[in-house]
Amino acid sequence: MRRTEIKIDADEGGEELQAQFLRSLRDAQGALYGCILALVPAGSDADEVFQETVWVLWKEYQAEGPPINFSAWSNSVARNIARGYIRRERRRGRVQLSEAHLNMIAKVHAGSSELLELRQEMLRHCLGHMSDGDRALLMSCYGPEASIHVVARKQGQTTASLYSRLKRLRHRLFECVNRRMSGRNP
């Protein structure tokens, strides 16, 4: 994902509302940009659509307040803005994508985003049912500043044995998520 600077007018909302919006936007930014890239593949065009999306999101956030599901709401807004952008570019002759194909891509992306959100929810549930030690190990190995070698040294084990343990834990999580997705309890 490209780094895009997010700008909102500081005079147009309370500081707490802005902080809340920016936290939600930060958490959803990767999925939001991915949603835009699904419809607008050129990076510079996607950046432009992203900036427009952020501006529209902020204006609606100010007017309506926080949505129940920021990610779903922001993706919906982004899809509409991206589709509008594609329509404008089609009129200029720069895009050959038909409206039917555009709708199909938007539907597929929306469905895959919903499935991913559901799987993430199931993963959080499954993580919550793991022992504190196993969960802490996973978080220390897959966190932002993680290093398998450092964790192995701290645990007094070889890197190979830690990788084996992580593989077993990931498999347990995978099985738990799949059981929950199929309607069976873990």
User: In degrees, to the nearest 5, what angle opens at C-alpha 113 toward C-alphas 88 and 27?
Assistant: 90
The number of domains in the chain is: 2
Of 4-8, 86-90, 138-142, highest mean pLDDT:
138-142
Tokens of 56: 């529209």
Residue finishing a domain among 90, 118, 146:
118
One domain, residues 101 and 150: no
94 lies in a domain?
yes
116: closest CA among 21, 4, 20, 34?
34
Which CATH number covers residue 170?
1.10.10
Domain carrying residue 156: 129-186
* Count of C-beta atoms within a 10 Å radius of residue 70: 19
123 lies in a domain?
no
Query: Is residue 90 within 8 Å of residue 76, measured between CB atoms?
Result: no
pTM to 2 decimals?
0.54
Residue 169 pLDDT: 94
- pLDDT tens for residues 93-103? 766 666 676 66
- pLDDT tens for residues 123-172? 989 999 999 999 988 988 887 777 888 888 988 999 999 999 999 999 99
Query: Is residue 141 within 8 Å of residue 103, measured between CB atoms?
Result: no
